[in-house]
Structure 1
Amino acid sequence: MNETLLVTLVVLTLLLSAAALVVALRASRVAHRRAKRARKAPELPTDVQGLRGEVHSLRAEVSDALRHLSVVRYDAFGDMGGHLSWSLALLDDTGNGVVLTSIHGRSDARTYAKGVTDWSCDQQLSPEEEEAIRFARTA
């Protein structure tokens, strides 16, 4: 057999072995992750009352999450276009959170934050901020 052919066959065999090893390691990792997830799965109650309790506790956990979101884009100044200014409402289920506003001008941009409680604000809101809160409430 030609020496070059023999070297080529050895190199190909090594490459195939390395590829098979990589595939086997990945398959092993995937199987390990699945087994780990299966071991960590919490025991769920089988009765209806227990399931209702689980749903109630999950709802209580997410009630403080900022789930009501809305963005309103607009032109803050008449001589500028592109809707580069925006107001963003981030609120939880009870209407508590914040309204962030960025006013884009020719030479700078200013950002404001106003606290929101029960879907309203102690500070005066711009029409766009009120619109963002209104959209977030219906979202």
Structure 2
Amino acid sequence: MKLSSETMILWLIVLSAIAILNFVLFLVSSAQKSKMRRQFKRWQGIHQTADLEAVYAQTIDKVREAEESLANVAANVRAMETALRTKIGTPSIKRYNAFSDTGSDLSFSIALLDDTQTGVVLSSIYGREESRTYGKPVVEGQSTYPLTSEESEVVSLSKHKVPKQLV
């Protein structure tokens, strides 16, 4: 069987096209292989064995640890908020002149109350001959002892100084 020169040229063109196509495919596969090697090295940076299941398991463990830590922090914040409500807030004070024969506002009443308006009112009455100090317990803004107008005023002022609840 004898092939004509035209058939040989046609075969040569077809084989050349196949060779060029193979070369292009070789370049594309080399580029993909290089890309995959870079990705593999990145994964090895996360975990030396590059075992995706191990990386996933470690990630889940770290998330659980973070959730537990966050729950502990939230519990501590709630405990601190509860404790803070029972601490004395900003004191309220009123200075006044208890007696008309004294020269200035040397008497005072001070309210030391927490967020629930529970605590104590201290009053110091200054006179020329003597001074007296009184303490009266206060529970939820009320005292079992009669409050003077100045003491009632500092309790009332203390109510307005109560900080807003933390959200």
| TM-score of Structure 1 vs Structure 2, range by shorter chain | 0.5 to 0.7
- The normalised TM-score by structure 2 is 0.52
Task: Map 1:7-86 onto structure 2 (within 5 A).
Answer: 46-47=66-67, 49-86=71-108
Higher RCO (CA < 8 A, seq sep 6+):
1
Q: CA deviation at 1:52?
A: 3.1
- Counterpart CA distance in 2 for 1:59 and 1:68 is 16
Question: Comparing both structures, which one devotes a greater share of its residues to strand?
Answer: 1
Equivalent position amino acid for 2:130 in 1: D
User: Given the alignment, which residue of 99, 118, 124 partners 2:121?
Assistant: 99
Measured in 2, the distance between the counterparts of 1:71 and 1:80 equals: 20
Deviation at residue 95 of structure 1 after TM alignment: 1.1
Which of 130, 136, 142 matches 1:120? 142
Structure 2: gaps spanning 5 or more residues: 1-64, 162-167
What one-letter code is carried by the residue in structure 2 that aligns with 1:56? Answer: R
After TM superposition, the score normalised by the length of structure 1 is: 0.62
Structure number with the higher helix fraction is 2
- SS of the counterpart of 1:100? strand
How has the CA–CA distance of structure 1 residues 46 and 74 changed in structure 2, closer, same or farther, with 3 Å as cutoff? farther
Give the root-mean-square deviation of aligned CA atoms: 1.7
Asked which structure has the greater CA Rg, the reply is 2
C-alpha distance in structure 1 between counterparts of 2:144 and 2:138, whole Å: 8
**Paired AA for residue 121 in structure 1:** S
| Alignment size in residue pairs | 95
Name the CA distance, whole Å, in 2 between partners of 1:135 and 1:113.
Answer: 18
